[in-house]
Each structure stands twice: as C-alpha cells, then as structure tokens.
Homo-oligomer: A and B are copies of this chain.
Amino acid sequence: MGHSRPTLADVAGAAGVSVSTASLAFSGAGPIAAATRERVHAAASELGYSGPNPLGRSLRSGRSGIAAVVIGDQLRRSFRDPVSVQVLDGLVSTLGQMGLGVLLVPGMPATEGTTGVDPLLETAPMDVAVLIWGSREDDPALLSLQRRGVPVVIGEGPAVEGVPVVGIQDRRGSEELVRHLADLGHERIAVVSLPFGGPRRCAVVSPERMTELRWTPTKHRLEGFQDAGVVPTMVVEAAASLVEEGQAAGRLLLDVEDPPTAVVAQSDLLAAGVLLAARDLGMRVPQDVSVAGFDGIDLPWLAPDVLTTVAQPLAAKGEALGQTVAALLAGEQPEPALLPVTLRTGTTTGPPRT
C-alpha cells in the first residue's frame, strides 16, 4: 500500500474487521455495533483516511451526485446578467441540500469555429443535466445528452417531448405590461427584444428576421403584444441582455424623426440601457418617453427612478428547477412548471405627451 492514500481495506485491516463492516461503519446503512464503528473510525483517523473514495462509491452505486448545468453561451455573457445568477443561486442551494454538486458545462465548444458540443458534455460524469436557459428544440447539447441517456430539465425553453420545462408566465406578464401602457394612452409602442437565437446582432428586426425567431422567452414576450391587441411600431433585437446593448438599441429607436411614446424592453438591463439612451438624447422619462422592463431585478443606480417592470420569482425558479431535478432522479415524470409574474409599476411609465 506504499505511500498512496489508504483505502477502506487498509482501515478494515487496521481495525481488525472486514471491508464490508468498515463500509457499514461509514455509510451508516445496516446494523453495526457502536463499539465496532468506534474502532473503525479510530483506525481511520489513525491512518489519515478521510472517508470513502467518491469514485469507488459512484461506480458501485451508479450515481455521481453531480448535476450538470449547461450554460447556453459564453459564461461571461451569461453571468453578467443578474437574472441568470439569481436563478443559478437558487438552483445551487436547492441541489446542494439534496447532496448534489453543480458542474458548470459550456453549451458550446470553447474553441470558436468548432461544430458539435463541448467535450465535457459527452464525457463528464452527471446524473442529470439542466439546460438553464437559451435552449432550443434542435439544441445539439440536448441531443447529445439524450443520446447519453442523461435526464434533462429545461429552464425557459421550448416544450420538448419527454423533457420537463420550468418557465414563467412570460406571455401573460408581457400582456399585462402592454395593457398598462395602452391604458395610459400609448399607441406607438416599440420593443427592444432579447436575442432571437442564431447570430447575435443589435439591429432593427425585419419581417424575414422575424421568421427566424427561435428563443422561447423572446417569442412569448412578443406574443404578449398580440394578446393585448397591440402591434409594436418597431422591434429592435439586442445581441445580449446587457445595459450597453439596451443603450445601443435605445438610440436606434429614439434618435429618429418621430420616436415611439413608449419602449418595452424584454429585460431590465435592456430597459436600463434605454433609459441611458433617452438621457443622452435629452429626453425626459416618462414625460417624453415611457420605458418598461422585464424581470424585476435590483438596479440601485437607477434611483431615484423606479423602473416599471414585470417581476419574476427568480430564486423560486431556481428552486423549482431543483425540485424538478429531484423528481426526475426519483424516477417520476415531473409536470412542467409555469411560475407567476407580477406587474410592478414604477416611475418610468406615464401618460404620453399630448
């Protein structure tokens, strides 16, 4: 046994018991005399044995205790968004309480230009995977995981046969928000949308581009307009949910002859960017233009303004994802979850200028 780390067999030998008994002393499963357990633990600390090797345990039990969280895109981009972070936070703590660790896996290969999926997705140990956001029907990551036989949970994504989804009432929330603006008297409402999927860009959306819309939350939040019976005067697609992008999009929308009287951004960060753009252009909010967001995150630097937005329960979403994972591991077929949202009116929306 040389100088390598001691194994359960070493401990058993030192304690004068069989390997199976030593295992029992650690796992606690099955009956074992207190004295024996004591003796085994003593031998263990004597030898510097720090508990059963997870690798051996995993092989035997067939479980790794690891849940992979697949990040749709670049980590940097994803994590700059507080929405993602708060969901991830809820997920990590929920899974942690179940004894599951979270393995971060990029959804796309690290080296640009490569097709296929990140090798980790194909080779890393995992009992279950969560596509936390940004998944699509034809997601190569999804296909790869299904081929491996790994159970999958999708957050904020499309309905896929046999894959449980956890989402929020994007559509209804958006509808409420649009109605709020319509009730205030707005007739010219523009949209700054989240990415459509596919190549990222910050640009006015053409009718053709509209047909390429793949990303589910973007789609649902747009559909809220239909439900409210309002047609946006213009849609600008942002390359990511970031303040800078919102600012660029805001310039595109507001720096024109006849700007809209209200702008609905599909995320709070984008809305914040639009506010900055309005400020840059010397427009007052909400007198010259109303601005609304989506998500309900804290934006302390917006004070004294308060953003009108649709608040979603972010920590609860992470928790719901965790519960779904638990159900999946227990062999159940979890129902899709659709969490409620609430309209939160702030100071950035008001009646249009007459």
Contact = CB atoms under 8 A, between A and B. Distances in A.
Copies of chain A in the complex: 2
Nearest to A298: B244
Interface string A79-114: 110100110110011001101011111100011000
17 contacts: A48-B147, A50-B148, A51-B122, A51-B123, A54-B123, A55-B62, A59-B59, A65-B124, A66-B124, A66-B125, A75-B93, A99-B119, A99-B123, A101-B103, A103-B104, A243-B300, A272-B301
Contact of A104 (B50, B54, B104): B104
Contact of A110 (B96, B125, B147, B243): B96
A101 to B, nearest CB: 5
Given A55-B59, A79-B89, A300 B124 contact: no
A118 interface: yes
A58 B104 CA distance: 19
Report whether over half of chain A's contact residues are helix, strand or loop; otherwise say mixed.
Answer: helix
A149 interface: yes
A56 interface: yes
Interface string A46-85: 0010110011101100101110000000111001101001
Given A59-B59, A103-B102, A300-B247, A110 B85 contact: no
A5 interface: yes
B75 A88 contact: yes
A120 interface: yes
Contact of A125 (B54, B62, B92): B54
A153 interface: no
Nearest first, the 7 A-B pairs at minimum CB distance are: A54-B125, A76-B89, A79-B85, A75-B89, A102-B104, A59-B59, A101-B124
Given A96-B106, A247-B300, A272-B301, 17 more contacts: A51-B148, A55-B59, A55-B125, A59-B59, A65-B125, A66-B66, A66-B103, A75-B88, A76-B89, A93-B110, A99-B120, A101-B105, A101-B120, A125-B125, A243-B300, A244-B300, A276-B301
